[in-house]
Amino acid sequence: MNFFRRHFPHLSRHLFPPPAPHDNEVGRRADHGGGSGRRADNGGCSGSRANDRGAALMLATFALALILYIAMEVQYETQVEFSVNKASINRLKAYYSARSGVELSLLRIKLYQKTKAQMSGMQGVPTAMLDLIWNFPFAWPPMMPPDMNAVDQGQIDAIVKEAKLDGSYNTVISDEGTKVDINDLDSSSKTIREATKKLILQMFENEFAENTNWAKQHQNFQAEDIVNNMIDWLDADTQSIKSGDERAMYPDAGSDQQMPPNRQFRSVEEVRMVAGMTDDIFKLLAPRITVYGAKAINPNTAPPEVIQGLHNTITNEVLAEVLKRRADIMGQGQFRDAQDFWSFLDSKGGRVPIEIQESTPISTESAMNFRIKSVGSYANSVAEIEAVTYDIPRAAAAVATELKKEKTPEGGTPPKTSTAPKIEVPKGPPRIVFWTER
């Protein structure tokens, strides 16, 4: 205190005012001749001390307000940083929850492939039962039915508590090979090439027949022109199928951009860039096409619109019978081969011409290309991962089989197609050819 009084007299006077004199001391000063003048001086000193105390109080109040402001700012910044970091952690947990769903789906696909390979020579094994290994939706934590007894529910709750996964996920696996592969429009196999074009044209024909509003809005639409433009996108030359230079159909393309690129489609979304393609046409094609096809149509797993696209004689009634049979696990079950499928259609009124049957590649083998969709969630954060697995050896074998058929001379014996050559399941996880995160 003395240090401050010596070096900072003005500041010390405000911070450390001298104590007020005692009343007895004031009286003694008055008795010794201080008189009224001294008392007046004493009153002046008291006012000065009061002013000093007021200034000190204001200074303390200002300092306190400043400290409170700084504390509030620090608290706000801390809360914002905490919220941001917490949201980042939640997103990370949601992402790895979705990633866990993908990894489990890859395991299910691998188990299905191995089980199918081991049981390929056995008789009486229902294929539809094996398909449940991969096509049954899976969620974590498990969805428990309301009528589950308390014992089973308690066991599941105990397992969930022991798990180290904080988030949840839902996974769906679908057979990507059931869709029409648009890249097969430029296949090395003439059979696959022509069958793919017919399937796409049949999709438009069915839409015209069943959707009157769509037909009215597209009266001048020429489906074959769109398909030809898709072929021009794929083939290696610059000559349009119709006539002229195919690059003339893309006047807005820059000088440094080759349109069409004369390569395969890398995604379904690229089809929207084809000349003449509109939103309505693309919306019709998108759910029915893929770039990861199986080079053949599997009537046991193909979507209804693909089956109906084989020929216009496959009406809604015939289609319903097809779906009913392949869902009947304990009855006739799935189709054994192409002949079984065509015969069934004929018995139900779907009389597909023989030339269509011979030119359409049909395969009843097990699924080989899969699309995985996994949605993970934690707190308010959601992450989605989509992946596609592709069995390249089996796809190559399917093309080789069709090429061998085409090379068979007329009158010769074509190779048998009822049973495909056995292909060993490759080691390691299924091959992933597409991966996207949202």
Residues 353-398 pLDDT 10s? 888 888 788 888 777 889 999 999 998 899 999 999 998 877 777 7
Q: Identify the band that residue 435 occupies on the pLDDT scale cut at 50, 70 and 90.
A: very high
> Mean of the pLDDT values across residues 91-99?
95
Written as six digits, the tokens of 129 are: 């039962």
Write out pLDDT tens, residues 53-91.
Answer: 778 888 888 888 889 889 988 988 898 998 889 999 999
> Mean of the pLDDT values across residues 406-429?
60
pLDDT above 60 (res 44): no
- What is the number of other CB atoms lying within 10 angstroms of the CB of residue 381? 19
Q: HEC string of the chain?
A: CHHHHHHCHHHHHHHCCCCCCCHHHHHHHHHHHHHHHHHHHHHHHHHHHHHHHHHHHHHHHHHHHHHHHHHHHHHHHHHHHHHHHHHHHHHHHHHHHHHHHHHHHHHHHHHHHHHHHHCCCCCCCCHHHHHHHHHCCEEECCCCCCCCCHHHHHHHHHHHHHCCCCCEEEEEEEEHHHCEEHHHHHCCCHHHHHHHHHHHHHHHHHHHHHCHHHHHHCCCCCHHHHHHHHHHHHCCCCECCCCCEHHHHCCCCCCCCCCCCCCCCCCHHHHHHCCCCCHHHHHHHHHHEECCCCCCECCCCCCHHHHHCCCCCCCHHHHHHHHHHHHCCCCCCCCCCHHHHHHHHHHCCCCCCHHHHHHCCECCCCCCCEEEEEEEEECCEEEEEEEEECCHHHHHHHHHHHHHHHHCCCCCCCCCCCCCCCCCCCCCCCCEEEEEEC
Q: What is the pLDDT of residue 168?
A: 93
d(CA 68, CA 63): 9
- What is the number of other CB atoms lying within 10 angstroms of the CB of residue 321? 17
Written as six digits, the tokens of 100 are: 């866990």
Q: Identify the band that residue 419 occupies on the pLDDT scale cut at 50, 70 and 90.
A: very low
pLDDT above 50 (res 418): no
Beta bridge partners of 382: 377
d(CA 225, CA 181): 18
Beta bridge partners of 377: 168, 382
Query: Are residues 402 and 189 in contact, defined by beta-carbon separation less than 8 angstroms?
Result: yes
Query: Are residues 423 and 397 in contact, defined by beta-carbon separation less than 8 angstroms?
Result: yes
Q: Identify the band that residue 13 occupies on the pLDDT scale cut at 50, 70 and 90.
A: low
Q: What is the pLDDT of residue 368?
A: 81
Q: What percent of the chain has pLDDT over 90?
A: 25
Chain mean pLDDT for the chain: 81
Question: How many residues would you count in the chain?
Answer: 438
pLDDT above 50 (res 420): no
Chain-centre distance for alpha carbon 178: 19
Q: Between the CA of residue 150 and those of 36, 101, 155, 411, what are the distances in Å?
A: 98, 27, 9, 69
Written as six digits, the tokens of 105 are: 């789906």
Write out pLDDT tens, residues 123-180.
Answer: 666 667 788 889 889 999 888 888 888 888 888 888 888 887 889 999 999 988 888 8
pLDDT above 60 (res 27): no
Q: Largest Cα–Cα distance of the chain, in whole Å?
A: 150
Where exactly are the structural domains of the chain?
Answer: 2-77, 93-437
pLDDT above 60 (res 22): no
Beta bridge partners of 387: 372, 435
pTM tops 0.75: no
> Mean of the pLDDT values across residues 322-331?
81
Residue 405 vs residue 252, higher pLDDT: 252
Q: What is the pLDDT of residue 21?
A: 56
Which position has the token pair 């105390």? Answer: 53
Q: What is the pLDDT of residue 417?
A: 46
Written as six digits, the tokens of 141 are: 């934590």
d(CA 400, CA 392): 12
Residue 170 phi/psi, 5° resolution?
-130, 130
Among 47-51, 247-251, 269-273, 306-310, the minimum mean pLDDT is found in 47-51
Residue 104: which of 385, 301, 293 has the closest Cα? 385
Q: What is the pLDDT of residue 32?
A: 52
Written as six digits, the tokens of 151 are: 């014992």
Q: Identify the band that residue 237 occupies on the pLDDT scale cut at 50, 70 and 90.
A: confident
